[in-house]
Amino acid sequence: MLKTAELSTFDEVNLFFDTAADRLGLTNGLREMLKRPWRELQVQVPVRMDDGQIQVFAGFRVQHNGARGPYKGGLRYHPDADLEEVRALASLMTWKNALVDLPYGGAKGGVQVDPGQLSNGELNRLTRRYTQNIIHLIAPNRDIPAPDMGTNAQTMAWMMDAYGAVHGHSPAIVTGKPVEMGGSLGRESATGRGVAYLLQEAAKDIDLEIQGARIVVQGFGNVGSWAARLMYDAGCRIIAASSVDGGVYNAGGLDIPRLQDFEKLSGGVTGFTGGESISNRELLELDCDVLVPAAIDNVITEDNASYIKARLILEAANHPITPEADRI
């Protein structure tokens, strides 16, 4: 997780909150109530690895605010996950759910692990143990996890099964589970589809013609790849895309269906033959109409904000722009 030297990610999110609170004229007491998480849990997650050794991972679940309804928020597996990051993401879920008038509060979970280094069996055992350790916090009408970075429908199936072993069959305990287990059709593409819809609306405000618009997508995971595909289908020209190891650039436009197939096989976009290699730093500074940061937080900072050439930035990731960069 990238941070500024002075502020944690949670502090940065609260700077944005304070700006809104100033406009609303909120009292200091109400501000403190809305900022502070209602409940935080930090657990150890011991897992027997395939070699027989026990490895212990740090796990977290933060329930930020439940005034609007049950807590709702994803579970991420990432080597840089920590309590500060999970706090920030939980608070963002509160504001996102409130913004679109959903009857949910905000929560988030995380495990400090690189899922790419674990076997399928190890991930299964990790998920079940994490679920057991937070099981007293979650319930279909209390706190409902979902997939996030490093987790997917299979992860949710394991969580649902582990919860059901204690409380009986409870498909409503998670969202984002496989359709065969009661999941929702369209869930996989939903976030990326929302980004594509936002482009259509935002383009009207800046008189941007969608057909042929030059799009740059940083992050080609679930959100970024679906956003890119739907924009591609709408006639946009996706000139660059990246994954954690680097990106690929083609001024004439990338073949997104081919790139999606390549990413599924290789786990990234580097090495794709339909364009030239480019770094994530170079990608952010490309001349384009729309930049879509869809990877990690704090990628646009005061150091690189003045080099961003995009007319429009669509924030598909959580908190991709620092407060300092936002003022630029």
- For every residue of 249-306, DSSP letters joined together read E-TT---HHHHHHHHHHHSSSTT-TTSEEE-HHHHHTS--SEEEE-SSS--B-TTTGG
pTM for the model: 0.89
What's the confidence (pLDDT) of residue 77?
98
Q: Which long-range contacts (CB under 8 A, 24 or more apart) does 14-23 make?
A: 14/91, 15/323, 16/323, 16/326, 17/91, 17/95
Tell me which residues of the chain have a pLDDT lower than 70.
1-5
Give pLDDT tens digits for 73-109.
999 999 999 999 999 999 999 999 999 999 999 999 9
CATH number for the 188-327 domain, one of 3.40.50.300, 3.40.50.740, 3.40.50.720, 3.40.50.2000? 3.40.50.720
CATH number for the 9-184 domain, one of 3.40.50.10860, 3.30.70.3270, 3.30.450.20, 2.60.60.20? 3.40.50.10860
Domain spans, the chain: 9-184, 188-327
Q: Please list the active-site residues.
A: 108
Read off φ and ψ for residue 140, nearest 5 degrees. Answer: -55, -30
9-184 and 188-327: identical CATH topology? yes
What's the confidence (pLDDT) of residue 4?
45
Full strand arrangement of the beta sheet holding 246-249 = 276-278, 246-249, 237-243, 214-218, 290-293, 312-313
Alpha helical stretches, state H, 100-186? 120-134, 153-167
What's the confidence (pLDDT) of residue 106?
98
Read off φ and ψ for residue 44, nearest 5 degrees. Answer: -95, 145
Do 80 and 2 meet the contact criterion of CB atoms below 8 Å apart? Answer: no
